[in-house]
Amino acid sequence: MINVTSDTILPVVCWESCSLCPTSTCGAITGVNMSDVIHDRAWFNWDDMNSSTCDVDQIRFRYREVGTNAWSTKTMGAPVGNSALCLNTSKRVINLTTSTQYEYDFKIWYQDGTVVSWHSGGTFTTADPCLNATNVTASPNSGTQTDFCWDAPAAPWSFVRLKYRVDTGGAWANIGGMGVMSPLLCKTKNGLTPSQTYRAIWRTFCNPTGGPYRSPVWDGPITWTQPSGVRVEGGTTITNLDVYPNPSRDIFNVRFTSEDVQDLDVRIINVIGEVVYTEDLNEIVGEYTKQVNLSTYTKGVYFLEITTDNGVINKKIVLC
């Protein structure tokens, strides 16, 4: 309680009618920017224009190639007056033309009836096309190994992805994992099957994380045939090679004799070169025997491969 006397000085307080008070205005879209602009697509981004006093009803933007007449449009929150908040703050557009400058602007409707006509205009330019590698070659080094080489694309690139399969059919598999990174122009593929004919296709990506910034299509195929298994000059140092029973439903017995002290790599691979069994033998001499259980693998043709310092010996086995 304030005791007021004739000597009391009260602070001055000004009261104004609401008609003179500042009011909140539902205005133009702010924060417009472009992101992830590549050769054929781009993202439009903007601020959330909803607030405690303004509810967005609809947002529309239009875009076109600079110098042309026809607009393309994207609309969020249609139709006007649907009584639902428009919360969008980004939108992707696709099917753009490479190496082209575009112009755009925005229009916004609020639920209180405010309409801000075309505004917040700007421009952006799409990226150059992602060109594919050319002159891809497959050059066998041995019955199980081939070098793949190519000419670099005539524009900046990130990696080349190569795939191969048996020429007559089957599933595709990658050469070099998900891609061979720039500036490398060759990749060696091991684990191929002697005397087998393969085909390969390739595609270039211009973003190191992959995604849609890539050459338009897979190019190829190229085909090649692996040479037959190599034998050591003047006779083999592996003798008495036998695999039994063959065919087998599950277990194969592998037996051979190493005539000299040597390091060997024993593998079993399927028809697309995937290794299903491997064993490294160091300084082995004399008779070798091993039981290999393939009961958990798909029925079909496999290859026993014994690699020495001088070459490779192969034998077909059948899991039935």
What is the CATH classification number for the domain harbouring 294?
2.60.40.1930
Structure tokens at 103: 């112009």
User: Does any domain span residue 258?
Assistant: yes
Are residue 58 and residue 117 in the same domain, yes or no? Answer: yes
Single out the residue in 163, 194, 225 at which a domain terminates.
225
Structure tokens at 45: 């981004």
Whether the per-residue pLDDT at 301 is higher than 80: the answer is yes
- DSSP 8-class letter at 271: T
Q: What is the pTM of this model?
A: 0.63
Q: What confidence category does residue 139 fall into, taking pLDDT thresholds of 50, 70 and 90?
A: confident
Q: Can you tell me the distance from the alpha carbon of 293 to that of 253, in angstroms, rounded to the nearest whole number?
A: 9
User: Does any domain span residue 288?
Assistant: yes
Single out the residue in 125, 156, 185 at which a domain terminates.
125
- Segment 142-194, tens digit of pLDDT: 778 888 999 999 999 999 999 999 999 999 999 989 999 999 999 989 889 88
CATH assignment of the domain containing 90: 2.60.40.10
Domain that holds residue 173: 134-225
User: Does any domain span residue 293?
Assistant: yes
For residue 10, what pLDDT is reported? 52
Residues 6+ apart with CB under 8 A from 244: 252, 253, 255
Structure tokens at 247: 């065919």
User: Does any domain span residue 98?
Assistant: yes
User: Does any domain span residue 15?
Assistant: no
Are residue 279 and residue 257 in the same domain, yes or no? Answer: yes
The domain tally of the chain equals: 3
Are residue 32 and residue 117 in the same domain, yes or no? Answer: yes
Cβ-in-10-Å burial (0-12, 13-18, 19+) of 152 comes to middle
